[in-house]
Amino acid sequence: MDFWKEVTVDFLGNVLAGLLLLGGYMAVQWFLAATDIVISYAWRFDGTMDHPSNVRPAFDIRNRSRSKTYYLATIAYLKDKRPAASFDNKALWGSELKPGTITFVEAAPAKWAGALSGIEGLNVHIWLQNGRMFWLRGTGPGALRLGRLQRAAFWLRKKIERGAVPTE
Other C-beta atoms within 10 Å of 133: how many? 11
Other C-beta atoms within 10 Å of 36: how many? 18
Q: Determine the pLDDT at residue 137.
A: 64
Architecture of domain 36-163: Sandwich (2.60)
Q: Determine the pLDDT at residue 23.
A: 95
Q: Determine the pLDDT at residue 117.
A: 59
Q: Determine the pLDDT at residue 52.
A: 65
Q: Determine the pLDDT at residue 167.
A: 46
Q: Determine the Cα–Cα distance for residues 86 and 75; give it in Å rounded to an integer.
A: 9
| Phi, psi for 115 (deg, rounded to 5) | -80, 170
124 contacts 40 by C-beta, under 8 angstroms:
no
Q: Determine the pLDDT at residue 118.
A: 61
What is the pTM for the complete model shown? 0.66
In three-state form (DSSP H/G/I as H, E/B as E, the rest C), the secondary structure along the chain is CHHHHHHHHHHHHHHHHHHHHHHHHHHHHHHHHHCCEEEEEEEEEEECCCCEEEEEEEEEEEECCCCCCEEEEEEEEEECCEECCCCECCCCCCCEECCCEEEEEECCCEECCCCHHHHHHEEEEEEECCCCEEEEECCCCEEECCCHHHHHHHHHHHHHHHHCCCCC
Q: Determine the pLDDT at residue 151.
A: 76
**Which residue numbers in the chain have pLDDT < 70?**
1, 48-53, 85-89, 110-121, 137-147, 165-168
